[in-house]
Amino acid sequence: MLNLLEKYRNEVAPAMTARFGYKNAMAVPKLAKISLNAGVGCGSEEKERLEQALEDFGLITGQKPVPTKARSSIAAFKVREGMPVGVAVTLRGPRMYEFLERLISIAIPRIRDFRGLAQKGFDGRGNFSFGITEQSVFPEIHPDKIKVAQGMLITIVTTADTDDEGRELLRQFGMPFATD
């Protein structure tokens, strides 16, 4: 299979130019970054979940994840400002394309009862967000080591100006969208 960066240069960019009529090669939308986020809760009882999420995100992305901290205190949830409550990773460059290739070809097809990604995840500026309910769809995660199923939010940020351009860019890469 073609590396997605090569595929972008050889197939996707010319197809996008033909469809949308870009006059300049720099005007063709491309991927800017992919971010993965997961909330793991808080408190001393959730410390093990945070460590597991940090380890899983590191295996999935090949990059060291960063723990996210609570912005404000919420007494009802026993959260204090500055407590670690989640995990985040931002991928750019070659790692981003490698992750997207594994996501499209391996992880998404392993989702149980998958019928395509909902197209309502676009934000109006060509960026696409969707959630995955379990980290076990990634082959790097060993199912026996999972104590708690951890979901995640994946956001694909593009340089596209509209949702149509962003949708077409991701469709050219092979993103499996549901037919609405």
Instruction: Identify whether 47 is part of a domain.
Output: yes
Of 157, 141, 31, residue with least CA distance to 97: 31
Instruction: Identify whether 35 is part of a domain.
Output: yes
Instruction: Identify whether 176 is part of a domain.
Output: no
Domain carrying residue 76: 30-159
Instruction: Identify whether 146 is part of a domain.
Output: yes
Instruction: Identify whether 70 is part of a domain.
Output: yes
Give the range among 156-160, 171-175, 176-180 with minimum mean pLDDT. Answer: 176-180
> What CATH number should be reported for the domain holding residue 122?
3.30.1440.10
Q: Where are the beta strands (DSSP E) in 15-172?
A: 31-39, 66-69, 84-91, 128-132, 152-158
Give the range among 10-19, 29-38, 76-85, 105-114 with minimum mean pLDDT. Answer: 76-85
Total domains in the chain come to 1
DSSP state of 103: I
Tens digit of each residue's pLDDT (9 = 90 or more) over 63-113: 999 988 877 877 777 777 877 788 999 999 999 999 999 999 888 888 888
User: Residue 1 above 50 pLDDT?
Assistant: no
Instruction: Identify whether 38 is part of a domain.
Output: yes
Instruction: Identify whether 52 is part of a domain.
Output: yes
